[in-house]
Structures are given as structure tokens and as C-alpha cells.
A = this chain, B = another copy of it.
Amino acid sequence: MFESYNKAQQAVLRTTLNMIIKKELQATSMALIAKESGVSTGNIYHYFKSKEEIVNELYNAIVSYNGSFVLQGLSRPGTVRDRFFGGWEKVVELSRLHPEGFQFIEQYSFSPYIREDVKLKAYNGGWCAPMNALYQDAMTQRIMKPSDAKLTVQMHYGALVYMIKGHLSGYYELTDEGIHGAILNCWRSVSNE
């Protein structure tokens, strides 16, 4: 997830992510990050300007990782429908492979702690833009019913996110068929098939 960073940076980012998810930002002190990551405070500040920058960099790194991950599904060869399923399946897969990253993005994408420029870069560098493009194309080609593409993507994402959140909160179990059914539902609600 943090391959482009050096060892110390990776340790810091990984540790910070885990601590924020487990204990919340407030309880995630620099002293603890240093201790858990094995990187001294001084050296942390050699690589990151401030605590805020660690968190923003974390956000950036995860969004970027998620972006390429989902893009694999979105660029799958085949029909629009195939790419649609490819994309959303990867989104759900992400939440199972990297639940901390998933939760982190959920918690901080609306937080004032993440700088606006980082959010903007995330929007463009993540999978959001390609997914929007897929919907827009499908609507132009009349494969999907005409509608606001961004709004529709947003709603489909919301439905899947809350499906996962409910699962992570222990409200119910999730099966592969359940997941497939959920994505299928999304497809049916917009496709002209």
C-alpha cells in the first residue's frame, strides 16, 4: 500500500493508520506512533512536517492505492456491464482486503482535518473520476437510463459502503451472493437491459 515510500515512512504511515482506526486520532500521539513504528520522533519529523501532514499523506496514499486497485476492474475487457461489475467488485474487495484503509477514508473524507487540496487531488487521482466517466459513456450510449452520472455513482457507492459498514458493525453477515446481488441491484436500477 505504501510501496513508493521509504522504510521509515512506511512504518509511520502503517502505524498511524492502524492506531487511528483502533484508537481514534485524538489518542494517536506522536510519542505512540514513534514507539509503535520504531521510528524516533525526531526522524518522523525529518520525513513529515507535522502530524497533520502524516494524516494527509496517509489519506493521499490510500486514495491513490485504491484508485489503481479499482481501475483494474474498471478497465477489464468486455462490455460496459462487465466493467461496471469489475469496478464495484473491486470496491467491495478493497473493504475486505484493507478494512482499515476503507474505514479511514470513510471517516476522513468529510473531515476538516484533511486539507481541501488533498481532497481535490484525491477526487481526481482516485477511482471516482473513471467510474463517473463509465456511467457518463453508458448514458450517452443509452446503455444506462439518462440521469446525473455523478449523482448515480455517488448513490451506488453509498449503498455499497453502508452494506459494508453494517457488516463491519456486526448487523449481519455478508455472502458472495449477497454482494453480487447488491451490485446487480445497482445495475438493474440504471440499465436499459
**Chain multiplicity (copies):** 4
Judge whether A151 and B178 touch: CB under 8 Å: yes
Give every chain B residue within 8 A of A169 (Cβ-Cβ): 110
Q: Is A150 an interface residue (CB 8 A)?
A: yes
CB closest chain-B residue, reference A119: B169
* Distance between Cα atoms of A26 and B112 in the complex (Å): 11
Task: Please give the residue numbers on chain A whose beta carbons come within 8 Å of chain B beta carbons, in ascending order.
Answer: 22-26, 103, 106-107, 110-113, 148, 150-151, 154-163, 165-166, 169, 171-172, 178, 182, 185, 188-189
A-B complex: 5 closest residue pairs judged by Cβ atoms: A158-B162, A158-B158, A154-B166, A155-B159, A159-B159
Q: Kindly state the separation between the CA atoms of A88 and B44 in the bound complex, as whole angstroms.
A: 47
Q: Is the CB of A151 within 8 A of B165?
A: no
* A110 neighbours in B (Cβ, 8 Å): 103, 106-107, 165, 169
Once the chains bind, are A162 and B166 in contact (CB under 8 Å)?
A: no
